[in-house]
Amino acid sequence: MREEELQKIMDNALEKSRGHIAFGKTADYIPELGCADRNDLGISIYTKDGKRLHSGDSDVRFTVQSISKVVSLAVALERCGFDRVFRKVGMEPSGDAFNSLVKLDLSSNYPFNPMINSGAIAVSSCLVSAVTFDEMLDITRELCLDGGIQINERVYRSEMANIARNKAIAYLLESKGILENDVERSLDFYVRMCSLNVTTDSLAGFGLALASDGIHPQTGRRMLDSDVVQTVKTIMFTCGMYDGAGEFAVRVGIPSKSGVGGGILSVVDREMGIGIYGPALDNKGNSIAGQCMLEDIAKKLKLHIFAADRYR
């Protein structure tokens, strides 16, 4: 497809989706997240053949939040191995909200999957003894093709000041013997990762890396093992959009991960990475206009993984 055509599709999707912003709202449980401009909306697409397209607010920095769960899972699988990680956390969609304690208390001895808070905190507790935070920052920058990623200190402090629910989750994990390291240190690592500042470009870069089997699009260097990338994409598909993952899979059909900062990371396998920003969220915590854009683009470009005439 020609670049102009793709650009037009992106621009149209963005304009069509703006109207949905009114039905969402910014995250309110962390004051600093509530300060985002709910009208911001942006998208970036990086393709395998080197195109880099943008529309809307693609240069705004926002915190990656839950999208960091993908980075953490990938690095944990690399550094700690599948067995060690999946002894701590399952691979099943939970059907519950991302911050629920119920299933963990009631029917399970480990978190359902690494894309919900409990699972990601368990993963962080593995990472703490395998990698320093500075290393994680470097890895994130490389995976996102974005050397400018930093911790957003204000969001980090705001999250640490409103950490009670995540502490409850972390101590429940600790009480079940799931954490490998100190609770507070694991949590701090987790929150730091959530507080990284990205743009839609960073997410498109990371998406392209995952679409390219973990190989750096420019240098050709392998950044992640092939089986790690395969696993991460699968879990994004089944669990990536909180308890809206199933409907998103039907409507859009692209492995994606959302964050309550308003970002969405999408991986069109073998083809492209997509980064989205739109901080007005639906009631499940996913960018409301962002999902709408993705659905529109997925239809136009035939990106659904089970589309009969899938783009390739």
User: Any idea which residues carry the catalytic annotation?
Assistant: 66, 69, 190, 242, 260
First to last CA, the chain: 10
Return the number of the residue (58 or 117) whose C-beta is nearest a copy of itself: 117
Return the number of the residue (143 or 198) whose C-beta is nearest a copy of itself: 143
Determine if residue 180 is left, alpha or beta; phi over 0 gives left, psi from -120 to 50 gives alpha, anything else beta: alpha
How many Å apart are CA 40 and CA 278, to the nearest integer? 6
Are the C-beta atoms of 193 and 75 separated by less than 8 Å? Answer: no
Return the number of the residue (49 or 164) whose C-beta is nearest a copy of itself: 164
- Residues near 312 by beta carbon (within 8 Å), at least 6 away in sequence: 270, 271
Are the C-beta atoms of 269 and 305 separated by less than 8 Å? Answer: yes
Q: Helix (H, G, I), strand (E, B), or coil: what is residue 269?
A: coil
Determine if residue 203 is left, alpha or beta; phi over 0 gives left, psi from -120 to 50 gives alpha, anything else beta: alpha
Return the number of the residue (101 or 137) whose C-beta is nearest a copy of itself: 101
- Return the C-alpha torsion angle 118, 119, 124, 125, nearest 10: 80
Q: How far is the CB of 71 from a copy of itself (least distance, A)?
A: 18
Q: How far is the CB of 94 from a copy of itself (least distance, A)?
A: 4
Are the C-beta atoms of 149 and 71 separated by less than 8 Å? Answer: no
Q: How far is the CB of 226 from a copy of itself (least distance, A)?
A: 5
Distances (CA, A) of 162 to 155, 188, 191, 199: 10, 12, 11, 24
Return the number of the residue (37 or 105) whose C-beta is nearest a copy of itself: 105
Return the number of the residue (51 or 299) whose C-beta is nearest a copy of itself: 299
Q: How far is the CB of 56 from a copy of itself (least distance, A)?
A: 28
Inter-residue long-range contacts of 173-177, CB under 8 Å, 24+ positions, other chains counted: 173/104, 173/111, 173/118, 173/121, 173/122, 173/125, 176/104, 176/109, 176/110
What residues make contact with a copy of itself under the rule CB under 8 A? Answer: 90-96, 100-103, 105-107, 112-113, 164-165, 167-172, 174-175, 183, 213, 226, 229-231, 233-235, 237-239, 243-247, 249-250, 253, 255, 269, 304-308
Q: Tally Cβ neighbours within 10 Å of residue 52.
A: 17
How many Å apart are CA 132 and CA 13, to the nearest integer? 40
Q: How far is the CB of 235 from a copy of itself (least distance, A)?
A: 7
Q: How far is the CB of 182 from a copy of itself (least distance, A)?
A: 11
How many Å apart are CA 118 and CA 11, to the nearest integer? 37
